[in-house]
Amino acid sequence: MVPSLLTGALIGRCRPQWITPLATPLVRFGVPLSLMGLLLHGGLNRSLLLMALLSVTAIGLMLALLRGSGLITDALAMPDRQLASCIGNTAYFGIPAALALLPSEALPVSIGYDFGATLLAWGLGPLWLHQANHQGHGYDWGSLASHLMASPATRGLIGALIVLATPWHDAISAGLWLPSRVVIVLALAVVGMRLGTISSRAPSAVPERLLSPLVCKLLLFPMLMLLISLPLPLPLLAKKALVLQAAAPTAISVLLIAESGQCDASASAQLILRSTLIALISVPLWSVVLNRLF
């Protein structure tokens, strides 16, 4: 994971014009294919849907706390920073981290979390920004539907359901397993390229306005997921996987949603960069804490 991010970051700083030609086909075709392979390998069952529901519940609760609490700082009053505080890069960071730190049996939990978080990000994210920036105006629900259908998670799920309906699903699942992991490596490199372009124009010091979202994303939100999962009758491995996914750094999708919502995306870009760098240390630390706790 680290070599892919570092290689991508070096390429992004030297050749930023390569990002779009590489990222566009990867997002349109590679990521849905990868998620389809991971879903087929992990199995589509009620457990996966439960993990998706838990991720949606945790993110929704965190957003409600950030918007409804009178104790939040000015840095967390902006809707794009609220999204950045709880929507993580689970597909390109969280799942590789789970593969590295947990047994393979935890993969369906990680995929389920990612699926729920991705649908919520693209479904609720534009609405969340719209209500803050266009109060009193109606929301374009057709746009919401198009965002959901364009989501790589949605297309990956539809593809997996189609494959499961065929008599060759076992062979296709086995054939997609290796390409699915290759796409994850390529996606990490593309994320590194985007981070490389962001780092070239980011200030060296961490602005005070970014400290609160960083603490929320990397510390408070994983703690919230831990508190949610502790009383539930889940396997210990599932609880570990949920917390590690919650500890993933801010997702690239937050930047894309902020840009599409005509927000100042500079803060989101810096949060993605800094949270990813810190998560290279904080996520393994979370793994150590969870191993001692359970």
Q: Give 199-235 as a DSSP string.
A: HTTS-SS--HHHHHHHHIIIIIHHHHHHHHHTTS---
Closest CA to 247 of 224, 223, 222, 212: 222
HEC-encoded secondary structure of 14-57: HCHHHHHHHHHHHHHHHHHHHHHHHHHHHCCCHHHHHHHHHHHH
- 229 is written with which tokens? 């999962």
Under a CB-based contact definition with an 8 Å cutoff, are residues 226 and 243 in contact?
yes
More confident residue, 263 or 96: 96
- Res. 12 pLDDT band, cuts 50 70 90: confident
Mean pLDDT for the chain? Answer: 80
pLDDT digits (tens, 9 = 90+) for 69-101: 655 666 677 788 888 899 998 877 888 888 889
Checking if the pLDDT of 259 tops 90, the result is: no
Q: Which of 17-21, 114-118, 149-153 has the highest mean pLDDT?
A: 114-118
pLDDT value of position 130 = 62
pLDDT value of position 136 = 46
Checking if the pLDDT of 36 tops 90, the result is: no
Checking if the pLDDT of 41 tops 80, the result is: no
pLDDT digits (tens, 9 = 90+) for 205-247: 556 678 889 999 999 999 999 999 999 999 999 999 999 999 9
Q: How far is CA 181 from CA 12, 30, 107, 176, 232, in A?
A: 22, 11, 12, 9, 31
Checking if the pLDDT of 257 tops 80, the result is: no
Supply the pTM of this predicted model. 0.78
* Average pLDDT rounded to a whole number, residues 39-59: 85
Domains for the chain: give ranges and CATH numbers: 2-293 (1.20.1530.20)
Q: How far is CA 94 from CA 111, 114, 172, 191, in A?
A: 9, 8, 25, 13
Checking if the pLDDT of 9 tops 50, the result is: yes
